[in-house]
């Protein structure tokens, strides 16, 4: 059964995002982005590279000379969605606009290049996540020669540190700042180390410069991004800056700038980092701390490098050092050989931790991964679905109970804009990353507003505004 609950699940994460900025250039590019925030952040780099080279950006795919799809490979259905989309675009190109250039960027590029170029002849351009500087050359080559152009080389150094991204989210309030790329963790289910390459950190000075310029331009919130941000390490200039130190330095830029980050690995969540959360008021009281599973044997098979007990200890430490800290997680249902008892361990861990929020997935085998090579994807589809549904139902109940316990509580929210349902209401997130909606009054986007919670759903706090904070 397809989950129908109002918490983000697969489909929400897999919905494509489009540019909200447009400008004219020598050729118009339509850029569509699938997958995680990191991909959205990459598309901001792509938009910047294209703009610097005279290309325009459009939101209307029908007026585009070039259509670029920034792809996601994390789960099979994300990949299928992109392939369907490419088929559709290809058919339109053949029928209406033979000069249209079609390009695939990002995580699907490396693995599918042969198929996309040769067997299926779907695209004119294939560009991997470390080759975006080369885009103008590749586009030029594809246009001049009519031949497909490819660069899927992964790099050990590329961090796009010097490229000022074109901000996608034009709310002018919150922005993403990429601080590291790639992942060395090799969790057995995950394709990311293969599609995005080795871990590398962006120099601290360029991160601070970018955050400073966001502050100067009136931004109030940054989310620093990477596949595993808390393994960040910049060893340049003689001294090493780790993630705790980096967050601390960003937090000093302005007391009005809130800082969040995504995503982290429990093995790298140090006490020093927890103390930065506790001591710096503008480092949000929220950590996304993916557990993936609640059973130690499964965690070992997943190559997560911690046990159930170690994870629970970490949660206890986090709550002791940072009272009231909000936690969210990622969970996979139906990984190879998962027994009913092991599945129940996931449920019991969720009951123990009581996450504020969770992203919940059904396992899908990804090529090249350790799991694909060594294990069998042997949990039947209907069992996977039922287990996922149990996980979702439990989380919805826990989220609702957590939100109900907030009724009467006060929070400071950063106004992001009108609520989705009504212009008479505003929405914004609490320090603990909960979405709240409340009457507009005379508040405007970008302001910090004190609110009192009066009601809730499992996904949203309903509140009355008290005043500016
Ligand atoms: N199948 C299902 N979910 C996966 N994730 C990563 N790889 C897979 C896979 N093969 C999930 C993990 C990760 C999140 C970004 O996606 O939970 O934390
Ligand atoms: Fe994938 Fe694990 Fe790296 Fe996350 S930490 S990107 S799940 S390999």
Q: What is the pLDDT of residues 415-428, one digit of tens each?
A: 999 998 888 999 99
**Phi/psi at 80 (5° precision):** -65, -40
371 lies in some domain: yes
| Residue 50: count of CB within 10 angstroms of its CB | 24
My answer on whether 381 and 439 are in the same domain is no
Give the tens place of pLDDT for each residue, 26-44.
Answer: 899 999 999 989 999 999 9
Residue where a domain stops, chosen among 361, 389, 404: 404
Inform me whether the pLDDT recorded for 13 exceeds 90. Answer: no
161 lies in some domain: no
Residue where a domain stops, chosen among 364, 387, 404: 404
Give the tens place of pLDDT for each residue, 293-338.
Answer: 999 999 999 999 999 999 999 999 999 999 999 999 999 999 999 9
The whole-number pLDDT of residue 366 equals 96
159 lies in some domain: no
Residue where a domain stops, chosen among 117, 151, 185: 151
Mean pLDDT score across all residues of the chain: 92
Inform me whether the pLDDT recorded for 114 exceeds 90. Answer: no
The domain that holds 437 is classified in CATH as 2.40.50.140
5 lies in some domain: no
108-121 mean pLDDT? 79
Inform me whether the pLDDT recorded for 169 exceeds 70. Answer: no
**How close is the Cα of 29 to the center of ligand 1, in Å?**
31
110 or 467, higher pLDDT: 467
165 lies in some domain: no
Contact yes or no for 284/432 (Cβ under 8 A)? yes
Inform me whether the pLDDT recorded for 434 exceeds 60. Answer: yes
My answer on whether 356 and 451 are in the same domain is no
**How close is the Cα of 368 to the center of ligand 2, in Å?**
14
My answer on whether 264 and 327 are in the same domain is yes
**What are the tokens at 78?**
């994300």
| Residue percentage of the chain with pLDDT more than 70 | 95
Q: Is the CB of 74 under 6 A from ligand 1?
A: yes
H/E element holding 299?
helix 296-301
Give the tens place of pLDDT for each residue, 188-213.
Answer: 999 999 999 999 999 999 999 999 99
Separation of alpha carbons 427 and 429, rounded Å? 7
The whole-number pLDDT of residue 7 equals 29
Contact yes or no for 222/175 (Cβ under 8 A)? yes
My answer on whether 46 and 133 are in the same domain is yes
Separation of alpha carbons 437 and 364, rounded Å? 35
My answer on whether 70 and 116 are in the same domain is yes
64-68 mean pLDDT? 96
163 lies in some domain: no
- Choose the residue to mutate in 192, 196, 330, 370 for probing ligand 1, maximizing ligand atoms within 8 Å of C-beta: 330
Quote the pTM value: 0.93
Inform me whether the pLDDT recorded for 172 exceeds 70. Answer: yes
Separation of alpha carbons 266 and 278, rounded Å? 18
The whole-number pLDDT of residue 19 equals 66
My answer on whether 353 and 449 are in the same domain is no
**How close is the Cα of 112 to the center of ligand 2, in Å?**
20
My answer on whether 261 and 386 are in the same domain is yes
- Choose the residue to mutate in 75, 76, 304 for probing ligand 1, maximizing ligand atoms within 8 Å of C-beta: 75
My answer on whether 296 and 380 are in the same domain is yes
Q: Is the peptide bond before 263 cis (omega within 30 degrees of 0)?
A: yes
My answer on whether 311 and 453 are in the same domain is no
CA 330 to ligand 2: nearest atom: 7
My answer on whether 190 and 331 are in the same domain is yes
Buried b (16+ CB within 10 A) or exposed e, 135-173: beebbebbbeeeebbbbbebbeebbbbebebbbbbebeb
The whole-number pLDDT of residue 425 equals 96
My answer on whether 25 and 101 are in the same domain is yes
132-144 mean pLDDT? 95
Inform me whether the pLDDT recorded for 236 exceeds 80. Answer: no
My answer on whether 395 and 464 are in the same domain is no
141-164 mean pLDDT? 93
The whole-number pLDDT of residue 235 equals 87
How many domains does the chain contain in total?
3
For residue 436, list its beta bridge partners.
Answer: 428, 461
CA 292 to ligand 1: nearest atom: 17
349 lies in some domain: yes
The domain that holds 220 is classified in CATH as 3.80.30.20
Range of the domain at 435: 410-468
The domain that holds 141 is classified in CATH as 3.40.50.12160
The whole-number pLDDT of residue 237 equals 67
Inform me whether the pLDDT recorded for 350 exceeds 60. Answer: yes
The whole-number pLDDT of residue 25 equals 82
**What are the tokens at 325?**
């800290």
295 lies in some domain: yes
Give the tens place of pLDDT for each residue, 251-292.
Answer: 999 999 999 999 999 999 999 999 999 999 999 999 999 999
Half-sphere exposure of 45 (CA within 13 A, CB side): 26
């Amino acid at each position: 059964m397809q989950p129908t609950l109002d918490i983000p699940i697969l489909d929400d994460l897999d919905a494509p995002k489009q540019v909200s900025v447009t400008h004219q250039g020598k050729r118009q590019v339509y850029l569509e982005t699938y997958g995680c925030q990191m991909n959205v952040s990459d598309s901001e780099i792509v938009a910047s590279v294209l703009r610097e080279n005279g290309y325009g950006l459009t939101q209307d795919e029908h007026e585009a000379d070039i259509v670029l799809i920034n792809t996601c490979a994390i789960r099979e259905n994300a990949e299928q969605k992109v392939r369907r989309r490419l088929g559709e675009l290809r058919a339109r190109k053949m029928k209406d606009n033979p000069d249209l250039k079609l390009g695939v960027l990002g995580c699907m590029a490396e693995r599918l290049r042969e198929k996309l170029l040769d067997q299926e002849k779907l695209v004119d351009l294939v560009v991997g996540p470390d080759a975006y500087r080369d885009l103008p050359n590749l586009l030029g080559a594809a246009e001049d020669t009519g031949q497909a152009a490819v660069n899927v080389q992964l790099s050990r150094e590329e961090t796009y540190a010097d490229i000022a991204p074109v901000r996608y989210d034009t709310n002018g309030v919150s922005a993403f700042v990429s601080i590291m790329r790639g992942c060395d963790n090799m969790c057995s289910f995950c394709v990311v180390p293969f599609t995005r390459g080795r871990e590398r950190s962006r120099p601290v000075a360029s991160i601070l410069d970018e955050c400073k310029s966001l502050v100067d331009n009136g931004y109030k919130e940054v989310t620093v991004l990477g596949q595993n941000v808390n393994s960040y390490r910049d060893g340049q200039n003689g001294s090493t800056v780790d993630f705790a130190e980096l967050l601390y330095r960003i937090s000093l830029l302005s007391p009005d700038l809130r800082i969040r980050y995504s995503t982290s690995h429990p093995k790298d969540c140090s006490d020093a980092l927890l103390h930065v959360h506790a001591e710096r008021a503008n480092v949000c009281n929220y950590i996304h701390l993916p557990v993936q599973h609640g059973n130690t044997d499964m965690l070992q098979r997943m190559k997560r490098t911690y046990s159930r007990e170690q994870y629970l200890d970490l949660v206890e430490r986090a709550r002791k050092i940072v009272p009231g800290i909000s936690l969210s997680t990622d969970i996979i249902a139906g990984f190879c050989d998962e027994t009913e008892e092991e599945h129940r361990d996931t449920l019991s861990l969720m009951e123990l931790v009581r996450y504020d929020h969770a992203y919940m997935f059904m396992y899908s085998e990804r090529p090249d991964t350790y799991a694909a090579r060594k294990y069998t994807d042997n949990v039947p589809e209907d069992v996977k679905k039922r287990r996922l549904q149990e996980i979702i139902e439990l989380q919805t109940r826990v989220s609702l109970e957590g939100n109900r316990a907030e009724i009467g509580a006060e929070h400071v929210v950063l106004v992001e804009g009108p609520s989705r349902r009504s212009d008479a209401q505003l929405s914004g997130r609490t320090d603990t990353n909960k979405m709240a909606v409340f009457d507009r009054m005379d508040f405007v986007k970008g302001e910090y507003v004190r609110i009192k919670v009066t009601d809730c759903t499992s996904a949203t706090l309903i509140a009355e505004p008290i005043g500016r904070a």
